[in-house]
Structure formats: C-alpha cells, structure tokens
Structure 1
Amino acid sequence: MKNNLGVFAVLALLTSCSSGYSEAELTQLHEEAIAANAILMKNLNQNQQFELWQLLVQGEINYQKTVSLSLAQLKDLETISVVTSDPHNSLNANSSYEFRGVKVATLLDRYGVDADVTEVTFVAYDGYRATVSWADLQKYPIIVAFERDRRPIARSDGGPLYLVFPYTDYPQLQQKYGDRYWVFYLTHAIAGTPDLSLQVGERKFNARSLAKLPQVTIEEAVGYSGWSPGKVQLHGVRLRDVFQAAKVESEETVIIQGKSIVHRNPYKPIEIPVAAVQGCDVLLITAWGKKRQPIPSRMGGPLTLAFSPDCQEFFPQNPPWLTFVEQILVE
C-alpha cells in the first residue's frame, strides 16, 4: 500500500461511483491523478513535499480572503487524535488507526466563519471535491489529519493532508458521508462560497463587472464531475468579450487556471486555442438553472468554464470543462 499510489487512487475513485461518475470519467480522473502525482514526485522528494505543502482556508470567513497554512503551522494549532478505520486502506479495511490532526471546526472558527455559512467544501490537489455540512463539522471530530499511527501520512496513502471521519465512534457518519468524502491530498477548505474573482492579464473582474458584459445562455449536458446528468441551463459571458473588456489579445494560446494544483500545472496547462475563442462560444459561467442560481463551491463555483456544442471541432478530445476558474493567461 505505501508504495502503490495506483492501488490507492483506484480505490478512492471507485468509491466515488455513487456520485455519478461514468467508467470513462473514472479512468480519466485516475490517469490525471497518477500523471500529476508523478510530476510532483519527480521534482520533489517526500520531505520537500511536506515542507512546501499548504492548506488554503478560503470563502466566507472574517479574517481575510485566503489564509495559507504550512504543515508546520497546522501542527502548532490545537490538535486531537481520532481512532477509526480507514476505508481507503485496501490491505486492512477493518483495522483501526490513530489519526492526529486539527478538528475542522476548530480550524475554521479561528478565522471566523460567516453566520450564514451552511457547508464547507474540501478540494484536493487534483481538483476532486467533497462538501460537508458546517453543522456536522461543529458536532463531530472530523479532522484534517497529518499523522497516522504517529507517522506522517505518505503521499501514497493520501497525504500529507487527509480529511478523516471518525466512523468507529460515530457510525452514523458512514451512512451520511461515505468513502468518497475522505479527501486525500487536501489543499483547500472553503467555507460557503467565496466572492467571484477572476484575473485576466492586469485586469481583475468580479461578479458585478462580468454582469456588465453581454450575457449568454446555453442548455447543455455539462462536462463537470459531480453535476446531475442531463442538460442544464448555463448563464455567463463569452471569453472573447472578457478579453475585449480586459484589453488583451492572444496570437497563440489561452491558458485557464483553476483552484487545484493540477489545474495550475505549468507542465500540463489547460490550453484553449485562440481559434476556439474566436470561432465558438467559450464561456465563463456565473449562474445555472432556470432561476439563474449562483454556482456554489460544492458545484465548483463561483466561476466555471463551459463550451457550446460547436466548440467540439476545435478540440481533438473533449473540451476541458473546468470548475473553480480563477485566472486566465494570454500568450
């Protein structure tokens, strides 16, 4: 197990089947996780990874927009131990382990969660996400773990940060939060949904400034993981209109960056051909559904990337539908 990332990743993804992933999506997610992890492992040894790893606390908090915590800083906070089984351990699924870490509620209370927050979304370095009720995080000792059996959690076991649920002491949690909620490679904890913020060149857009641009609505079966199957109304703006407002031009490539490390990977960027930006509706989506609801963090919001059907001709494979869009680089 400790030297078999493939086994661990496959198990973790297979336990997500209940969320609606197809076999093709599972295969793609697995391959992307393996590839991204290989890049990190190639460039950094485990000690370096642990030193550089950060947990970002974001969203509707009082402290500031983003709080960045290193592993050392997390360990300096008040910690607790939880003894429970680990559903992703393929060798000893029924065994119990002692996890040490920071209770999520303690961590977020430190930075002041807004009164109207009802849920917290956890994001992994590969973009995987899971959302947990804020009330349950306050009620139960659900932790961001950095040790298992008094040793750092290896990358091959989902470390260095791992979201752990105390199944043994609170078996009701296993019914509500199944295996797929145990987020490994944890990088973000998002209280509620943060304000929309998009950097394009030197221009920063928010929800109000994007709303001033020409609005577009399409109805498509989305390419985001975790959304309901079938066609959904999507509302937003064309990428080319955003470029015009930002007064930027691109002769070759547009790079879209999301929240996760994988989606900011310079070795495998998410590229959009300029021909697609000019020739079809590449969209930044700010709302969904007939009631034009804002996109919450649990769905990858507040800003996502979408494509009209005629964009398919510009991509050898499927267009890169992306959640948590934060920055656009123009080259």
Structure 2
Amino acid sequence: MMGIGAAAASTASGRGWAQAPSSAMDEGTSLRRPTQAPILRITGKIQRVNDRDAAIFDRATLEDLGSGSITTNTPWYDGVVRFDGVPMTRLMEAVGATGQTLTAVALNDYSTDIPIADFARFGTLLATRRNGAPMRVSDRGPLFIVYPYDSDPELRARLYYSRSAWSVAQIIVR
C-alpha cells in the first residue's frame, strides 16, 4: 500500500501543485508548538500531538510543513486564482493521521466530511494565501480547503465544492 506522502509525490506533477521539503518536523513523533495564536486544531485518529490530545498550528507552523499551490477557477472568485498553502497529504502525514475520513469544521460551525483519499488523488490544499496575500476571515480564511477544480472535470461538481470548506478552524480525523 502506498503511503500518503508517496501518493502525493506521484500525483503532484499532474495536479498543479508542488511540495517543498518540511523544516518544521523531524522524522520523529513530535510537532513544534506554535508561538502565535493557533488557527487550526486537529483531533481524532492522529499519532502526533503538541497540546494534550490535539495537534495545534498557527500560520507559521502550518507553512513550515511545506508549501504547495493551486491555480484554478472557483465558483467563489472571479477569474483564475492562485492559492498557496499546505498540501493536505502533508498535513495528514505530519499529524500521523490513521483515519479514512476527516470532518472539517469552520468558524461558523459549517462542517463537511472529506475522504482522506481525495488528498493524494487530487492534490487538495489547505490554503493560507490567495494571490500571495494571507487569507483573512473576511476572505474565506484564514484556512480554505481547495481542490484544483480546473485539473479534472469531475471536480467541477457540487460534491467537491461542498468539501471545499473555508474559514476552517478544526479538523477531526475519523
């Protein structure tokens, strides 16, 4: 069976994103603690934590995991948009996710279930920036789960748009 990281590397070239090496985490089992206010909390079936039973991240600790980008049209913005952030495969690898699905919960309590297999299959991104600028709550930030919608006609459908949660504050791995 192919691991999350290997699967991501094998699909990266065809999905419009590239992954940089991680500088925030060694090959061990620890995660660096954020130094600023956390913007993301991950719980559930994870093996690496830095706050009791959770993995918490500020913008810097997320961006230190490695970066990717997606340039695509979306139903929420006019024209082509560039999103930069952490490849979801890398985030799941960093926390040692062992589940098959995650629930993304937004600041307004919207939630959506997403198969973790989507991340390697499509190159899904947890965007922290839009067109180079940090995403703010007023602009669907600070975190937005984005698919490369232009890369595959299958992605231009209600199912994948509903999985594209914005203002994500919590992820529960199931």
Question: TM-score category by the smaller chain?
Answer: 0.7 to 0.9
**CA distance, structure 2, for counterparts of residue 61 and residue 156 of structure 1:** 30
Aligned partners of 1:130 and 1:183 also within 8 Å:
yes
- CA deviation string 1:271-314 (max 9, x = no partner): xxxxxxxxxxxxxxxxxxxxxxxxxxxxxxxxxxxxxxxxxxxx
**CA distance, structure 2, for counterparts of residue 52 and residue 111 of structure 1:** 19
User: Alignment partner of 1:172: what SS?
Assistant: helix
Query: Match for 1:162: what amino acid?
Result: F
**CA distance, structure 2, for counterparts of residue 151 and residue 56 of structure 1:** 22
Structure 2 equivalent of residue 71 of structure 1: 59
Structure 1 equivalent of residue 82 of structure 2: 98
**CA distance, structure 2, for counterparts of residue 176 and residue 142 of structure 1:** 16
Q: How much has 1:120 moved relative to structure 2?
A: 1.2
- CA deviation string 1:45-103 (max 9, x = no partner): xxxxxx535111111011232100001111111110101112122xx2xx111100001
* Mapping for residues 1-331 of structure 1, pairs under 5 Å: 52-64=37-49, 65-89=53-77, 92=78, 95-114=79-98, 117-175=99-157, 177-192=159-174
Structure number with higher helix proportion:
1
**CA distance, structure 2, for counterparts of residue 157 and residue 140 of structure 1:** 24
Structure 1 equivalent of residue 20 of structure 2: none
User: Alignment partner of 1:137: what SS?
Assistant: helix
User: Alignment partner of 1:98: what SS?
Assistant: strand
**CA distance, structure 2, for counterparts of residue 142 and residue 186 of structure 1:** 14
Q: How much has 1:173 moved relative to structure 2?
A: 2.1
Query: Match for 1:104: what amino acid?
Result: M
- CA deviation string 1:241-268 (max 9, x = no partner): xxxxxxxxxxxxxxxxxxxxxxxxxxxx
Aligned partners of 2:38 and 2:59 also within 8 Å:
yes
Aligned partners of 2:126 and 2:144 also within 8 Å:
yes
- Structure 1 unmatched runs, 5+: 1-50, 193-331
- Structure 2 unmatched runs, 5+: 1-35
- CA deviation string 1:143-193 (max 9, x = no partner): 11011111112322101111111101122123363433221111112111x
**CA distance, structure 2, for counterparts of residue 146 and residue 88 of structure 1:** 16
Which has the higher relative contact order, 1 or 2, with Cα contacts under 8 A spaced 6 or more apart? 2
Aligned partners of 1:88 and 1:179 also within 8 Å:
no
Scaled by the length of structure 2, what TM-score is found?
A: 0.72
**CA distance, structure 2, for counterparts of residue 113 and residue 183 of structure 1:** 19
Aligned-residue identity in percent: 26
**CA distance, structure 1, for counterparts of residue 111 and residue 168 of structure 2:** 9
